[in-house]
Amino acid sequence: MAVQSRIQELSEITRVFLESGETHEVDYKKVAKGLKSEDLVAFANADGGCILVGVVERTRNGVQIGEVEGCDVSDGTVLEILNKASSCIPPVALDVFIENLDQSPILRIAIPTSATKPHCTPKGFYLRREGTRNRALQPQEMLNLFLEIEAQSFAAKFEAAAEKITQDLTELETSLEATITNMGDQLGWAEYKLGDTEDTVDAILARVALVQRDAQDANARLRALFRQENRDDPVRERYKAELVNEILEQITGDPDILRAALRGDHLSGSLKGAQALELTEEDFQEAIQGAVTAIREEIERRKYTRVIKRPKECSDSEIDHFVELVSMGGEVVEGARARIMRARALGFLEYEHVPVGVAAIKSPLKSYKTKVFGAAGSEYSIDEFSHELGWIYLKENHRGKGLITPLIENMLKEVENTPVFATTRSSNIVMQQILKHFAFKRSGKPYRSVKSPDELIRLLLKIPEKKKEE
């Protein structure tokens, strides 16, 4: 528990917490005196969270947000907070971050969910964070927490034991291989003198049978051990994956079975050989369902197509669809059509030949670039960036399928080895992760949106390696 960092401005995560208002994972305190041990144990006993000291809650446009007022961030204040954490039973782990030193400094106190819960205050109060308040734990909840910790302890010991057994089995396998090789050599000698050494052959065969029985017993015990409480078993998982692939081949190789599977008819079969030993009937049914689901998903994926065109190659209907989708995303309304027609390339994600998602490589005006780079305080020259990745939108019922990323990848190929910039809301974590995947990096600081002053905008740049070297 210590001060992890001191920074001159607000961190990105703090900005997100300010925009979100108080939640189950965020609490505001005007001054450090308002921070109680009850707050610390409540977060530690739940899923963890963050307390911003020097922040008050305000209502803006009907939405609750956090507003920075600043507070005392001296060593004495930090020590007071650390002492409160240490006084909890058992002590609560936390990290303290001092931010916004250039203006009104605040404290960000990060409290992870605890591995040693439940915690109580020095007065013996057990609490848990629920929504925007701290709630006293009921006796049954406390019992569940104790049992959870014990279960985690047992799981750790179980995994260690399972690892030891796996290691022992590996050594047993090595020993068996050496033994069998040795017996093979002896058997060859015995066959050569079979007339005189029948007793030797019988002894070797008996030894082989004993080794096989011991190996089967060891496998059975290990199988039972891994099945206890559904522990992960790499061998079983391998057999399950192989079974799914076999079922996939059988279904897709027979049109009648394929039609039955897609209709939702019940499919049956049986396990044989090693699969029958390693897998259960429940595993078999899950494999069938997994194979059918994979087939349905593949059929659904084939209904999507990606199309990239120059604006002048698009029909009026396609441009209308593009304008409609961009508008649904809250972008460009005034002069939309003219601005879209200036773009370098337009990308469409179509579902059964109807556009449901769009993206574009824009050719922004110099005045727009000057405004964006200036607001962000970027160190880069606008003259280096002729193109912007933007107007990215996907209808809600088509999200969560990994569809927009391939479209963006295709769009970026249109300007390969060329610097590109993009902007996105600070709260849009998903889009920031997608841009990061394509090597976009933040430039400058967040700035307020002109259209929505309550929102912060981030500038991100993608600079080819060759350009960086220059």
Q: Is the pLDDT of residue 467 over 70?
A: no
Closest by Cα among 359, 425, 435 to 392: 359
Phi-psi region of 106 (alpha: psi -120 to 50; beta: other; left: phi over 0): beta
Please check the confidence at residue 266 and state whether its pLDDT lies above 80: yes
C-alpha radius of gyration, the chain, whole number: 32
Query: Do the beta carbons of residue 426 and residue 446 sit within 8 Å?
Result: yes
| pLDDT interval class at 180 (50, 70, 90) | low
78-82, 84-88, 157-161: least confidently modelled range? 157-161
Q: d(Cα 78, Cα 76) in Å, to the nearest integer?
A: 5
Judge whether residue 122 has pLDDT over 90: yes
Fold of the domain spanning 3-137: 3.30.950
The single-letter DSSP state of residue 23 is B
Express each pLDDT in 285-344 by its tens digit.
888 888 899 898 889 889 999 999 999 999 999 999 999 998 888 776 567 888 899 999
The average pLDDT across 77-99 equals 93
User: Residue 70 burial by CB count (10 A; 0-12/13-18/19+): exposed, middle or buried?
Assistant: middle
Distances (CA, A) of 423 to 9, 207, 354, 417: 20, 73, 27, 19
- What proportion of the chain, given as a percentage, has pLDDT over 90? 45
Instruction: Give pLDDT tens digits for 358-416.
Output: 999 999 999 999 999 999 999 999 999 999 999 999 998 998 888 999 999 999 999 98
Closest CA to 299 of 349, 351, 247: 351
**Length of the chain (residues):** 470
Amino acid in the structure at residue 112: P
CB-based burial label for 292 (10 Å; 0-12, 13-18, 19+) = buried
Residue 118 has pLDDT above 60, yes or no: yes
Task: Write down the CATH number for the domain with range 304-469.
Answer: 3.40.630.30
The reported pLDDT for the residue numbered 84 is 94
Question: What's the whole-number mean pLDDT along residues 111-131?
Answer: 90
Q: Is the pLDDT of residue 158 over 90?
A: no
Q: Regarding predicted confidence, which is higher, 45 or 197?
A: 45
The residue to which tokens 């605040």 are assigned: 106
Could you tell me the residue ranges of all domains in the chain? 3-137, 143-230, 234-301, 304-469
Q: Are 2 and 94 in contact (CB under 8 A)?
A: no
- pLDDT tens column, 448-463: 887 777 789 999 999 9
User: Which string of DSSP letters, residue by residue, matches 232-301?
Assistant: --HHHHHHHHHHHHHHHHHHHT-HHHHHHHHHT--------HHHHHH--HHHHHHHHHHHHHHHHHHHHH
Per-residue pLDDT averaged across 258-285, rounded? 83
Q: pLDDT band for 242, please (50, 70, 90 cuts).
A: confident
Which of residues 159 and 48 earns the better pLDDT score? 48
Tell me the two tokens of residue 102.
């250039």
Q: What percent of the chain has pLDDT over 70?
A: 81
Q: Quick one: pLDDT at residue 190?
A: 46
Confidence of residue 127 (pLDDT cuts 50, 70, 90): very high
Residue 413 and residue 380 in contact, taking contact as beta carbons nearer than 8 Å: no
pLDDT at 199 over 60: no
Q: Tell me the C-alpha distance between 257 and 270, whole Å.
A: 16
Q: For the chain, what is the total number of helices (H) and then of strands (E)?
A: 15, 17
